[in-house]
Amino acid sequence: MSLQLLGGLSPQQFLDEYWQKKPLLIRQAVTDFPELIDLPRLIELAQRDDVESRLIEFKKNRWHMEHGPFRKARFDKLPESDWTVLVSNVNQHVDHVSELLYRFNFLPYTRLDDLMISYAPEGGSVGPHYDSYDVFLLQVGGTKRWQISSDDAGNFIEDAPIRVLKDFASEQEWVLEHGDMLYLPPKYAHHGVALTPGMTYSIGFRAPKTQEIAGRFLEFLQDELKLDGMLSDPGRKTVEQPAEIDGDFSTRIKAMLQEISWNDDTIGRFIGQYFTEPKNHVVYDAPDEPLDFDEFAASVAQHGISLDLKSQMLFDAEHIYINGEAVDCEPEAIATLRELANQRSLPADDYDDSVLEVLYAYYDYGYLQLAG
């Protein structure tokens, strides 16, 4: 990656000195945008039912929020100021936005979440708030004033549809122009207000709560369990209080539950499936007229292949995962599939049939896209 992205710091310097520790302002972090998303294109995305979008307004001293998909006419009714439209996971729909997100691959894909784009005219804001995860805020067009504070205050305006801090005292302030970027650790309070119309590209990171991970692991474990036996009580004595849960019964249930166990492999497979599982709104488009296997192999040999923008692929020492599934493959295919996971694409080449069979199956699902 270019050192410009982190203001001349190497990725390891950034991780050592700033990651989850303190903010970093980076002037002209990105100057080589291959293309810019304009407001009409962002509004087009906000009209789709497979895209998460929100519209936030501040009017009559109150915050208002609507969820998409929106009708185009909704945006024609907006005032000249004091509103923001936010579209999540734009990287799943626009190639060059996906490429920008994956410039942050000095951090693992298990942590990298999405690139959200927000547009605001003059005065547009979502109020002072904090995120529970790390975020890079990249200014794209226009100018925005950012105020930040290490004191998150922790109290929010009651009955507001969004989490807006009731008390916010700025400690530092900057105006970001096109290409400037601000990194903020988790729970670092910040308040951005558009000075001129423009966009903020928010690169966010996954930070699921312990409760969520534990709950999802228990769901995963339910499908993994294969416990023998059934409740029995030989030698049972008569009881005087039939409604009582007696100690002997509780002991038997405890013994049954103690049969539940897991090992490192179980946890590893859970991690691989959980961290590649698609979000609820994601839909994969299978090819309308899929190539047959020989045609597919010839196309890969000539043009290469890549993961669909919505696909996530990870691996560990023993397994490979894609979109919540464990990949069944021959040992000789593993190295190439790991390359696909790391680079999100494979160059044109004559690949072994053990690789092509896996690629063809996931191409047919819509998880992979042919190049060229």
CB burial of 33-72 (b: ≥16 within 10 Å; e: otherwise) equals: beeebeeeebbebbeeeebbbbbbbbeeeebeeeebebee
Helices (H), the chain: 11-17, 39-46, 72-76, 95-101, 210-224, 247-257, 264-274, 293-303, 334-343, 353-365
Task: Band the pLDDT of 153: cuts 50, 70, 90.
Answer: low
What separation in angstroms does the CA of 211 have from each of 7, 113, 207, 214, 215? 36, 19, 12, 5, 6
Q: Starting from the edge strand earliest in sequence, which strands make up the sheet with 135-140, in order?
A: 24-26, 181-184, 135-140, 198-205, 112-120, 83-87, 53-59, 62-67
* pTM of the predicted structure, to 2 decimals: 0.92
Average pLDDT over residues 134-150: 97
Average pLDDT over residues 107-122: 97
Asked whether the predicted pLDDT for residue 151 surpasses 80, the reply is: no
Q: Which tokens is 90 given?
A: 């734009």
Rg (CA), the chain: 25
Task: Report which residue type is found at 125.
Answer: S
Distance CA 360, CA 296 (A): 7
Distance CA 235, CA 336 (A): 60
Give the least confident one: 36-50, 133-147, 235-249: 235-249
CB burial of 250-266 (b: ≥16 within 10 Å; e: otherwise) equals: eeeeeeeeeeeeeeeee
Give the pairing of strands 83-87 and 135-140: unpaired
- pLDDT score, position 159: 81
Task: Report which residue type is found at 356.
Answer: L
- pLDDT score, position 152: 63
Asked whether the predicted pLDDT for residue 55 surpasses 70, the reply is: yes
pLDDT digits (tens, 9 = 90+) for 82-107: 999 999 999 999 999 999 999 999 99
pLDDT digits (tens, 9 = 90+) for 262-273: 999 999 999 999
Asked whether the predicted pLDDT for residue 332 surpasses 80, the reply is: yes
Mean pLDDT of the chain: 95
Task: Band the pLDDT of 353: cuts 50, 70, 90.
Answer: very high
- pLDDT score, position 155: 81
Task: Band the pLDDT of 154: cuts 50, 70, 90.
Answer: low
Task: Band the pLDDT of 166: cuts 50, 70, 90.
Answer: confident
Asked whether the predicted pLDDT for residue 331 surpasses 80, the reply is: yes
What separation in angstroms does the CA of 192 have from each of 161, 227, 324, 348? 18, 54, 36, 45
Task: Band the pLDDT of 357: cuts 50, 70, 90.
Answer: very high
Contacts of 231 (CB under 8 A, 6+ apart): 252, 253, 256
What separation in angstroms does the CA of 136 have from each of 29, 216, 246, 263, 348? 11, 28, 57, 36, 34
Which residue segments constitute the domains of the chain, with CATH numbers given? 3-205 (2.60.120.650), 293-370 (3.40.366.30)
Nearest to 106 by CA among 197, 213, 34, 18: 18
Average pLDDT over residues 235-263: 92
